[in-house]
Structure formats: structure tokens, C-alpha cells
Structure 1
Amino acid sequence: MAARKDVERASGVLQKRWCILSMPCRLYEKDQIRNVMYACIILHNMILEDEGHAIVEYYGEETESNNEDICNEERTQYQNLIESRQINSNLRADLVEHVSTLPRFNSIEDEDD
């Protein structure tokens, strides 16, 4: 009975923090549900560990900026790089290639065949 209470309490805490856990999941496969649960639990534990600890310290009195001022021409160049379809396409292809080499991805593909 005590274990059941603990599990229900933990589920309630996770459902409050992660909305995806409060939605019906009948359309998902068991592996997908398990991965979502693991991700939510891991993220929850990471948040608890870091609670009260700032990743970046903030000093309100400092007004100096460490950013270098750039001219409009450089800003336009950077904007064009960010919006470049060719660079986006290359990055996407690299990502697909990388993911396809992961062991977990290959085992899923083998099961589908």
C-alpha cells in the first residue's frame, strides 16, 4: 500500500510538471511511452539537483557588455548565413547521416524489415 502511494504521488508530480504525461497515450508504442517517461524522470531529477543553483551568475549592477559591436554589413552577412537554404540542407543531411549510424536507430530499422 505504501509503495502504491509513492508511485501515485510520483506520477502526480511528473504529470504536473510535464503535460505530455497527462495526455492519453494509446496511440504510442510501448517503447515510445517508456522513452518519454525516462526523459521526463531524468529531466525532473536534473531540475531537482540544480534547484537553487544558477547556471549563469547574474550581477545586476554590471552594465558592461562583453558583446562586440558589429556593423550592419557584418550583421547582414551573419543573417544570410543563418537563413541559407544550402547550409540548412547540408546540416540536415549531416544530422540524418549521424542519426542513421547510431546503434539504437539501426536496431529499429532491422526490426522494420
Structure 2
Amino acid sequence: MVTVEQIRAVALTLPRAYEAIVRDRVKFRVGQIVFAALSRDETTMGFGYPKAQRDALISGEPDKFFPPSKSDERFNWVQVWLSAIDEQEMRELVIDAWRMCVPKKVIAEYDARQAERP
């Protein structure tokens, strides 16, 4: 199962990202935009995801992904069971969610740095 420490290790390496505790929940933000958030019991993670593609993601892997709460349906958001994903998939979900929140220039700089790594 993916842990909050593993998620934190990925999220906090991303430019402009920071951690906030809101109502006893760990959330990762860029400015005021939340790109990933953990449930209070840390068994699920909500993350930014395009609304237009949300139903396809959920129907494609219903044992892994599920819809956001009613109050969050208006947002680009979906949820995942942390026990259903591995660290690599978590990394991809968190980074893709972060990409939805930052300017293209920041993404380009991040990608350039990643390309330089061996």
C-alpha cells in the first residue's frame, strides 16, 4: 500500500508545491489549488484529473478509482484506493495532477530538469 510518506516524497519535490493540513487532512497545493489530498484515515487519495475523462477512468478500473464526493463533482477530481496502486502509479497520478495546476513554463523547466537526470 502506498503511504503518505511516499506521496509526500513525490509531491514536495515538485516546484511551487507545499503541504497543508486542512480539517485533519493532508493536502498538497500549488497556491490555493489542491492537486492531491488524503482521506483522514489515509486509505484513499483524491487528485486532480480532467472531468471529461473521469468516467472513463473510473469505469475502466472500478476496483481502483472512484468518483469524488458530491460536493467535489464540479471539480477536476477523482479518488483512488491507495491499496490498489503501487508507488510508480502514485508518482504518475500526483505529477499529472500537479501539471494541471502550474503554468506551462514551470512544467517545461521541470521536464528539462528530469531529462537531464541519468
- Please state which band the TM-score falls in when normalised by the shorter chain: under 0.3
Return the index of the structure with the highest Cα Rg: 1
Q: Give the TM-score normalised by the residue count of structure 1.
A: 0.22
RCO comparison, higher one (Cα < 8 Å, 6+): 2
Compare the two structures and name the one with the higher strand fraction.
2
Q: Give the TM-score normalised by the residue count of structure 2.
A: 0.21
